[in-house]
Amino acid sequence: DQQVKQNSPSLSVQEGRISILNCDYTNSMFDYFLWYKKYPAEGPTFLISISSIKDKNEDGRFTVFLNKSAKHLSLHIVPSQPGDSAVYFCAALRSNTGKLIFGQGTTLQVKP
Amino acid sequence: GAVVSQHPSRVICKSGTSVKIECRSLDFQATTMFWYRQFPKKSLMLMATSNEGSKATYEQGVEKDKFLINHASLTLSTLTVTSAHPEDSSFYICSARARWEVLRRAKVLFFGSGTQLSVL
């Protein structure tokens, strides 16, 4: 049972435009959500997070939006840069377990 | 940010041998470490949670006798793949939760760089 889903395996955008990566979850007990960026043969690096009590968190070019009623979150990158090309994983956390549950990942390609 | 070191980064072994992967938190104490496995083009799947000084908790479907986890100190956890077979070939990643209160509130896990295991 996939509790965290990223339904788009890949996304291609032009440099300077906005990239929007989507993530859906099924477990209403998740209380924290994180986005990680990953390059091949490397471990994930933390990007941005959001608590379930918020609906938006912004950090530079990265903004995460959370819609609890729809159990949906999205990561906006604007403007997109070629260096943003990587696999992006969303992850959900139940604080009392400490376990991160990952989505399948979305491969972002930013074209110059 | 906090650094988690994972070693080796790549290992090739013969079927039937055992392989040990180390995960160290370099500049913080990690009371909890997690081990993940990633198949090509697949999500990171949580294998087990290890708490310092106690037995690891394995996720459903993960063989505890196949994947031995030891968390002997606050800075080191090891994963041993015993009697490895080709189907164990995968990318294994560890992560650590810092003891520091401020990091715990941030809910951020720091990840190692991963180990690519290839079993021939």
| DSSP summary character for residue B45 | E
Is B67's Cβ below 8 Å from some Cβ in A? no
Interchain proximity A98–B49, CB inside 8 Å: yes
AA identity, residue A24: D
Interchain proximity B44–A102, CB inside 8 Å: yes
- Mean pLDDT is lowest, of A18-22, B60-64, B86-90, B95-99, for B95-99
d(C-alpha B89, C-alpha B66), whole Å: 13
d(C-alpha A102, C-alpha B43), whole Å: 6
The counts of H helices and E strands in chain A are: 0, 11
Contact B93, B38 (CB under 8 A): yes
- What the block records as the tokens of A8 is 């788009």
Interchain proximity A99–B91, CB inside 8 Å: no
More confident residue, B88 or A99: B88
Is B111's Cβ below 8 Å from some Cβ in A? yes
The count of CB pairs under 8 A between chains A and B is 60
pLDDT (average), residues A25-50: 89
Is the pLDDT score of B102 beyond 70?
no
pLDDT (average), residues B58-65: 93
- What the block records as the tokens of A13 is 């955008």
pLDDT per residue over A45-81, tens digit each? Answer: 889 989 899 999 999 999 999 999 999 999 999 999 9
d(C-alpha A73, C-alpha A12), whole Å: 19
Query: What length does chain B have?
Result: 120
Contact B95, B111 (CB under 8 A): yes
Reported as a pLDDT band with limits 50, 70 and 90, residue B101 is very low
The residue to which tokens 């560890």 are assigned = B94
Q: Where does residue A86 rank: exposed (0-12), middle (13-18), buried (19+ CB within 10 A)? A: buried
Nearest of A34, A37, A4 to residue A19 by alpha carbon = A37
| A6 DSSP β-pair partners | none
Interchain proximity A44–B93, CB inside 8 Å: yes
Alpha-carbon dihedral B51, B56, B62, B65, rounded to 10 degrees: 150
Residue B102's alpha-carbon distances to A72, A82, B15, B41, B105, in angstroms, are 27, 33, 44, 33, 5
Find, in chain A, the residue whose alpha carbon is nearest to that of B95. Answer: A43
- What the block records as the tokens of B74 is 């606050």
Contact A57, A49 (CB under 8 A): yes
Find, in chain A, the residue whose alpha carbon is nearest to that of B5. Answer: A43
Is A104's Cβ below 8 Å from some Cβ in B? yes
What is the rounded end-to-end Cα distance, in angstroms, of chain B? Answer: 37
Find, in chain B, the residue whose alpha carbon is nearest to that of A93. Answer: B107
Is B58's Cβ below 8 Å from some Cβ in A? no
Find, in chain B, the residue whose alpha carbon is nearest to that of A10. Answer: B41
More confident residue, B29 or A76: A76
Is B5's Cβ below 8 Å from some Cβ in A? no
Q: Which residues of A touch B112 (CB under 8 A)?
A: 43
- What the block records as the tokens of B82 is 């015993």
